[in-house]
Amino acid sequence: MPRIRIDGQAYEVKEGLNLLQACLGLGLNLPYFCWHPALGSVGACRQCALLQYRDEEDRQGRLVMGCMTAVADGQILSLKADKARHFRAGVIEALMTNHPHDCPVCEEGGECHLQDMTVMSGHHHRRYRGRKRTFVNQDLGPFINHEMNRCITCYRCLRFYRDYAGGEDLHALASRNHTYFGRASDGPLESEFAGNLVEVCPTGVFTDKPLSQSYTRKWDLQHAPSICVHCSLGCNISPGERYGRLKRVQNRYHHGINGYFLCDRGRFGFGHVNHPERPQQPLVRENGRLRPVAASEGLAELARRLETTERWIGIGSPRATLESNLALRELVGADHFFTGLGSHPNALNRALLELLRLPGVNTPSLREIEACDALLLLGEDITQSAPRMALSVRQAVRGAGRDRAAALNIPPWQAQSVQIAGQNARHPLFISHVTATRLDPIAEATYRASPQEQAALAFAVAHCLCPEAPAPEGLDEQAQSLAEKIAEALLHAKRPLIVTGPSSGALPLVEAAGQVARALLNARPAEACPPALIPVFAECNSLGLTLLTQDAAEADLEQAFALSEHGPVGAIILENDLFRRAPGPLVQGFLERLTQRIVIDSIPSPTLNAADLVLPATSFAESQGTLINNEGRAQPLFPVHALHAERRNSWQWLAAVAGHRALKGFASPADALATCVTAAPELAPLSQALPSAAHPFTRLAVPRMPHRNSGRTAAGANLDVREDQQPQDHDSCLTFSMEGAPAPWLSRQSGIGARLPFSWYPGWNSNQAVHKFKDAVDGPLRGGESGMRLDLVCRDNGWHRPLPVDTEAQGLLAVVQPAIFGGEELSNLAAPVFQRAALPCLRIHPDDAPAWSVADGDRVLVRGASAATELPLRVDPRVARGIALLPPTCPPLGTGPTRVSLRSLGSDPLIATDHPEPTDG
């Protein structure tokens, strides 16, 4: 380990770092702009200058840029030397010459890296008397504000947007101090990760647009360590609340999962929490109308109704916490608990869980995905269904460039040199999907075919890798050669990765993904790195629900429907809109047959409208519970703000029932978690999260608010001038207050990682303060991060036999295409996300159109086995033949894989005004 001396103090630092990383890792304050821990160094801003001395005798020293100088043994440096300090102050003075007088009306103010660095380098008096350069802004869509006057030309935005996230529509225009970062013309930023510009930009050029409509400074927001509920990846987020409304979501660092970045659905999709039609208090149906009542009355009503009917069924939900699902299962009994999913999605979830159980196969975290060097995406458009994973896959593909640079001894943080050495080299990425995906441009080869044909391709890959794996029949020559190519790439890769998911709706495809991993394990030498296989699930707690119900013989929605036909039965429906799960007529019939319909939910839905009793559940922002992500990592959710008087966690409603149905083991969140630990043997590692073990690191509570939080004696004074006690949190180590452990003290505690509600440190107001809570700049948070991986029991089910591709079937196979915007229940209630959603339409291949006498732009009646719907039609050459690609908002047309027929209803007025579609290439 190199030993360096900074300002007379000797330090030992890690090899391979640059001086800026080393200084920040040592806790020293060295200002910087263009460097970013995930984007590396380019040496553009000249802000991190320090003085390096030749030897002990040298009194002059020379200025070096911290971010561009590697640490070396025996270096003698100074941060505090006058020469270095004056240089840094001069640089910031020059950067500030054109900066506008905007801070009071800037959304970045109070968490601005430029403000922090200006204060840090001591520039406080403006000497420049010239005119300031100005720019005309652009409209960048519903997510991002553009205010170019504030730019300091650090190029971080482009380095993130173009190099890291693969976006193409943000450019640098003009030159010198006229450099402009924008699009060719106004319009929404196309990348799914554009929201990260809010945090990447060190000043206020790109700011959070939904937040600026009702803005609150960071210091006034109440935060909690929370988990994103908009897909199955479980990214860590830090939501901010003020006056009872959720204002924004920011990234919360998690070394293994999201790192520094979120997707736009996760960042801007929280609107369901503030939705005006959200149930605010219990509703009881009287004379056909729902009447709001107090919580106590709602509870009494629940108890009364539970007594009136003997038989109850409980319908769980993949978007409810583990605790809520378990409480319902305990209340109604395991035999009467259903997942709220049809038999087919349940079977898919179980098959995906089997993939996690494959012995010898590695389940990678998103960070580990970034190190993979041959990737096969099978039937899942991850940009739409698990977007943050697509960003990791992009880094994996770029890894070829990093490897080339490493071979030339270029350190990985030398971003520009790595890029030049890499020459856009890519690791092989193979994508098999029913239509084009956003990752296609960086793929080595793509395969567009029906899910059965894709499964056949994957089985062929497995057969090429390991002859023991049964070969599929009837694969055409082109697919066969592609299979050989994929097998070759996976076999010779250091860390091969296979990704699959449920969106294709094909069980054989999921099994085939496991087959490839198994074949790969057999084909590769024992000492080689084990192949990685990662499934994506549909919702935030799909895996948790699957783990709870994996052994149940009858847990499908169809069986619940059947049960309701035999005698009177009441149902408790937990956070689930059944009309999204099964064809409308079936759900309607089911609801009508029930004697009692009790719905517990946090959002408005058609199911909720049909209820006799509605109990308002908490949204993720008020919930305390556990979610299990796609890799089997259980992560705790903490409430951001105290409970609204009439709302409860779903499990709390159920636990409050007295009498012979009273639940044991749900007295408090800790109690509920302890009950979860015993619910299934594989959930045992959850006990590490129990309060006894949860915060051994601190006796002082962790404040949810920054210490400067304001307005405590005025915020509620309009209601009553006497101030209430602050809400108390007896269930976690966090407080609903600005009082508690001070940040510097907290930053030294070893267990802080999982419980950091927001990052703030004296002098570091922006989210970049996070390095103060790490031991090394490129490492995890001090004491590890939130969540623990479950010990899933390994199980080998042997080789799967490929089914022959069904060529005789009539009709088009319905496949629902997931969508990042407009494709998920909760985020659809957020106005900005809904604005970005594409017009829902049916897509078919041009060759399929004549058989059904339909044409592009028609309105068509799509008829499935049990339901029909009308949709505008797009004829799209990118869709595989024989597929009817349905929009994510389409209600289910049948149970399981459904074939549909089409009938034209004349041309569609909506689609005529839509923009023309881009074609392939």
Partner 1 sequence: MLSQLRTIWEVFKHSTVKPDTVSYPEEKPYLAPRYRGRIVLTRDPDGEERCVACNLCAAVCPVDCIALQQTQDERGRWRAEFFRINFSRCILCGLCEEACPTYAIQLTPDVELCEYDRQNLVYEKEHLLISGTGKYHDYNFYRRAGKDVGVKERGTGETEAEPVNVRSLLP
Given the rule CB under 8 A, which residues bind partner 1?
Answer: 100-106, 109-110, 131-136, 147, 149-150, 173-176, 178, 180, 182, 212-217, 219-220, 242-243, 708, 710-715, 717-718, 720-722
Nearer to partner 1 by Cβ, of 72 and 174: the residue is 174
Minimum CB distance to partner 1, residue 149 (Å): 4
User: Per DSSP, what are the bridge partners of residue 634?
Assistant: 628, 788
Nearer to partner 1 by Cβ, of 4 and 211: the residue is 211
Nearer to partner 1 by Cβ, of 145 and 454: the residue is 145
- What's 874-917 look like in SS3? EECCCCCCCEEEECCCCCCCCCCCCEEEEEEEEECHHHHCCCCC
Nearer to partner 1 by Cβ, of 247 and 265: the residue is 247
Minimum CB distance to partner 1, residue 147 (Å): 7
Nearer to partner 1 by Cβ, of 662 and 717: the residue is 717
Minimum CB distance to partner 1, residue 179 (Å): 9
Nearer to partner 1 by Cβ, of 221 and 507: the residue is 221
Minimum CB distance to partner 1, residue 180 (Å): 4
**Beta strands 596-601; 613-616: pairing state:** parallel
With beta carbons less than 8 A apart as the criterion, state whether 282 and 646 touch: yes
Nearer to partner 1 by Cβ, of 127 and 915: the residue is 127
With beta carbons less than 8 A apart as the criterion, state whether 846 and 883 touch: no
With beta carbons less than 8 A apart as the criterion, state whether 425 and 373 touch: no
Minimum CB distance to partner 1, residue 271 (Å): 17
Report the half-sphere exposure of 538 (CA within 13 A, side-chain side). Answer: 28
Nearer to partner 1 by Cβ, of 213 and 728: the residue is 213
With beta carbons less than 8 A apart as the criterion, state whether 536 and 499 touch: yes
Distance, in Å, from the CA atom of 365 to the CA atom of 342, rounded to the nearest integer, reads: 29
What the block records as the tokens of 845 is 């291949």
Which residues does 613 contact at the CB level (< 8 Å), separation at least 6? Answer: 282, 283, 284, 285, 298, 301, 302, 305, 596, 597, 598, 599
Minimum CB distance to partner 1, residue 904 (Å): 42
Amino acid at 314: G
Nearer to partner 1 by Cβ, of 119 and 690: the residue is 119
Nearer to partner 1 by Cβ, of 216 and 385: the residue is 216
Minimum CB distance to partner 1, residue 94 (Å): 17
What the block records as the tokens of 673 is 């978690």
Helix, strand, or coil (residue 862): strand
Minimum CB distance to partner 1, residue 99 (Å): 8
Nearer to partner 1 by Cβ, of 104 and 567: the residue is 104
Minimum CB distance to partner 1, residue 266 (Å): 24
Minimum CB distance to partner 1, residue 727 (Å): 16
**Beta strands 289-292; 49-53: pairing state:** unpaired
Long-range contact pairs involving 411-416 (C-beta distance under 8 Å, separation at least 24): 411/16, 411/18, 411/70, 412/16, 412/40, 413/17, 413/18, 413/21, 413/40, 413/41, 413/67, 414/40, 414/41, 414/68, 415/39, 415/40, 415/41, 415/42, 415/159, 415/163, 416/42
Cα–Cα distances in Å, from 154 out to 47, 76, 111, 167, 792?
10, 28, 18, 18, 46
**Beta strands 496-500; 445-448: pairing state:** unpaired
Nearer to partner 1 by Cβ, of 436 and 705: the residue is 705
With beta carbons less than 8 A apart as the criterion, state whether 375 and 393 touch: yes
- Secondary structure (DSSP) of 239-271: EEEETTEEEEEEE--BTTTTBT---HHHHH-GG
Longest CA–CA separation in the chain, Å: 95
Minimum CB distance to partner 1, residue 713 (Å): 5
Distance, in Å, from the CA atom of 745 to the CA atom of 902, rounded to the nearest integer, reads: 66
Minimum CB distance to partner 1, residue 240 (Å): 14
Minimum CB distance to partner 1, residue 739 (Å): 12
Nearer to partner 1 by Cβ, of 223 and 242: the residue is 242
Long-range contact pairs involving 234-239 (C-beta distance under 8 Å, separation at least 24): 234/540, 234/627, 234/628, 234/629, 234/630, 234/633, 234/635, 234/787, 235/262, 235/263, 235/266, 235/388, 236/635, 236/785, 236/786, 237/262, 237/266, 238/757, 238/758, 238/759, 239/270, 239/621, 239/640
State residue 864 phi and psi, 5-degree precision.
Answer: -105, -165
Minimum CB distance to partner 1, residue 128 (Å): 9
Nearer to partner 1 by Cβ, of 182 and 387: the residue is 182
- Secondary structure (DSSP) of 512-556: HHHHHHHHHHHHS-TTSPPPEEEE--SSTTHHHHHHHHTT-S--S
Which residues does 202 contact at the CB level (< 8 Å), separation at least 6? Answer: 33, 112, 113, 114, 117, 152, 154, 156, 766
What the block records as the tokens of 557 is 């929605």
Nearer to partner 1 by Cβ, of 605 and 765: the residue is 765
Minimum CB distance to partner 1, residue 177 (Å): 9
Nearer to partner 1 by Cβ, of 81 and 103: the residue is 103
Cα–Cα distances in Å, from 843 out to 259, 503, 815, 849?
36, 16, 10, 10
Minimum CB distance to partner 1, residue 219 (Å): 6
Minimum CB distance to partner 1, residue 97 (Å): 11
Residue 818 carries which DSSP code?
P
Question: Tokens 């990846």 correspond to what residue?
Answer: 233
Nearer to partner 1 by Cβ, of 173 and 851: the residue is 173
